[in-house]
Amino acid sequence: MFVLGLAVPAPAWDEYLLRDHGLSLHIFKQTREMELRNNGLLLRRFAVRLGGDPYRPKRSMGDERTPVGRYYVREKKTRTNYRRFLSINYPNIADADRGLEAGLIDEHDWADIFFANVRGAMPPANTRLGGMIGIHGYGGRPEIPIDWTKGCIAVTDAEIDYLFAQIDIGTPVLIYD
């Protein structure tokens, strides 16, 4: 990776996500499924609902798209409108690189996102790329058979309770088209 003309080593989190170890979540946008795996072995499969525009990758705040890429659980929140919330580190460095190249963010926003990811902190959500993407429940709402989130991944309240108990901060979350 090159940062403003300098070679920068890949952050430790990238190496962490590339290894197949422990629990991981794999989300498949086309089939609307999420798999909980342990060392690559399928433990459980979940039906998911995605952002309102699920067929294209997330590019900017408000586009109602679910991102595609390698992420990890950065925060676990119990106080939310959606029962429980497993925040992921969107935007990650690859998202920031794309945003900078597309002119959506400037070098300062890129640096804020880059260094937050390197430190293992939550990336800023106030850039044109958006943020606060994660996995959550329905928050007591009835199950809806359409994609309805603002870009997050939704599972039933019972399933988010199960996941919340199983998943630790740092758990890899891989989202595929």
Instruction: Give the pLDDT of residue 81.
Output: 92
Six token digits for residue 20: 């197949």
As given in the structure block, the two tokens for residue 27 are 């989300």
* Total-model pTM: 0.87
| Model pLDDT, residue 2 | 46
Instruction: Report helix, strand and coil shares of the chain as percent, to nearest 5.
Output: 20, 30, 50
Strand ranges (E), the chain: 2-3, 6-7, 23-28, 33-38, 41-47, 69-77, 85-88, 134-136, 153-154, 172-176
Looking at residue 12, its pLDDT comes to 52
Please report the domains of the chain, with CATH numbers, ordered by start residue.
Answer: 13-170 (2.40.440.10)
Task: Give the containing element (helix H, strand E) for 94.
Answer: helix 93-101
pLDDT, residue 19, reads 54
Strand order in the sheet with 69-77: 41-47, 33-38, 23-28, 172-176, 69-77, 85-88, 134-136, 153-154
Per-residue confidence in pLDDT tens, the chain, 177 aa? 445 544 454 445 445 544 556 999 999 999 999 999 999 999 999 999 999 998 888 989 999 999 999 999 999 999 899 999 999 999 999 999 999 999 999 999 999 999 999 999 999 999 999 999 999 999 999 988 899 999 999 999 999 999 999 999 999 999 999
Q: What dihedral angle (degrees, nearest 10) is formed by the CA atoms of 90, 81, 52, 101?
A: -20
Q: Do 159 and 137 contact (CB within 8 A), yes or no?
A: yes
pLDDT at site 6:
46
Residues 6+ apart with CB under 8 A from 52: 64, 147, 148, 149, 150
